[in-house]
A = this chain, B = another copy of it.
Amino acid sequence: MAQPERDDKTDRSAPPPSASTGRPRSEEAHQAILDATLELLIEVGFSGLTVEGVAQRAGVGKATIYRRWPSKLPLIVEAFGELPGFEEVDSGSLEVDLKETLKRYLEAFNATSLGAVFPSLAGERAHNPELSKLLEPVARSRREPFVRIFERARERGEIADDVDIGLAADLVVGPISVTLFFRGGTPSPRMVGPIVDLALHGILRRRDD
């Protein structure tokens, strides 16, 4: 979730003629802007966020924002990208990996209000190709850990070779997505156990259960 090469993504507006003339851009202001954006995103959501509000809360002029980001959108996406990720677990057991990783996933979601911010952005993707492109790597990086967990499980023989791993990952994360988007709720870490159990063993009654 790090942002190691931020400028490569956003500062395409005015590549300085020589390497470093003039006063360098204030890293302090940069961070204050991202922080303020994230705060406001959490408080008022995507459609309620104003650049003027960000500038005011960050104690920064509007021009300083527009000098770094060409418009509101990339600013929001980068601020969103600042949200911390979550650690992947590798215990040697599929069930433990899934439960533990999913729990951390949800904790991160709730601790950082990602749960409120992400839907705001995701909802706009369909009408905003630019946003969609910017959001894609961020969204994917949050799904990949689950894919890797299943890959390891397959290598260990815990699951069949022909299981569609992408689908399996979506199945595990699915109920959380539904809770978030369809039900407007906050996914609770207590959901994790039942979700994983049900996804692993299936909904159908089984003789040997």
Name the B residues within 8 Å of A135 (CB-CB): 184
| Interface pick from A1-9, A50-58, A193-201 | A193-201
Name the B residues within 8 Å of A174 (CB-CB): 170-171, 173-178
- In A84-133, which residues have CB < 8 Å from any B CB? 94, 115-116, 119-128, 132
Q: How far is the CB of A28 from chain B (nearest CB, A)?
A: 21
Q: A149-184 interface mask toward B, CB cutoff 8 Å, 1 = contact, 0 = none?
A: 010000001111001100110111111111111111
What is the interface residue range for chain A against chain B? Answer: 35 or more
**Are A124 and B123 interface neighbours, CB within 8 A?**
yes
Chain A binding surface SS class = helix
**Are B171 and A177 interface neighbours, CB within 8 A?**
no
| Interface assignment of A203: CB less than 8 Å from any CB of chain B | yes
Q: How far is the CB of A198 from chain B (nearest CB, A)?
A: 6
Bound complex: CA A178 to CA B178 (Å): 8
Name the B residues within 8 Å of A189 (CB-CB): none
Name the B residues within 8 Å of A74 (CB-CB): none
Name the B residues within 8 Å of A201 (CB-CB): 202, 204
| Interface assignment of A67: CB less than 8 Å from any CB of chain B | no
Question: Which of B43, B175, B181 sits near A167, CB closer than 8 Å?
Answer: B175
Q: How far is the CB of A4 from chain B (nearest CB, A)?
A: 22
**Are A119 and B120 interface neighbours, CB within 8 A?**
no
Bound complex: CA A5 to CA B4 (Å): 54
Residues of A within 8 A of B (CB): 43-48, 94, 115-116, 119-128, 132, 135-136, 139-140, 142-143, 150, 157-160, 163-164, 167-168, 170-184, 191, 194-195, 198-209
Ordered by A's residue number, 7 sampled pairs between the chains whose C-beta atoms are within 8 Å are A120-B126, A150-B203, A159-B205, A168-B198, A171-B199, A177-B181, A200-B204
Given contacts A94-B204, A143-B182, A177-B177, 15 further A-B contacts (CB under 8 A): A44-B127, A46-B124, A119-B122, A122-B184, A123-B123, A123-B124, A135-B184, A143-B178, A157-B205, A159-B203, A171-B175, A171-B195, A199-B203, A201-B202, A207-B208
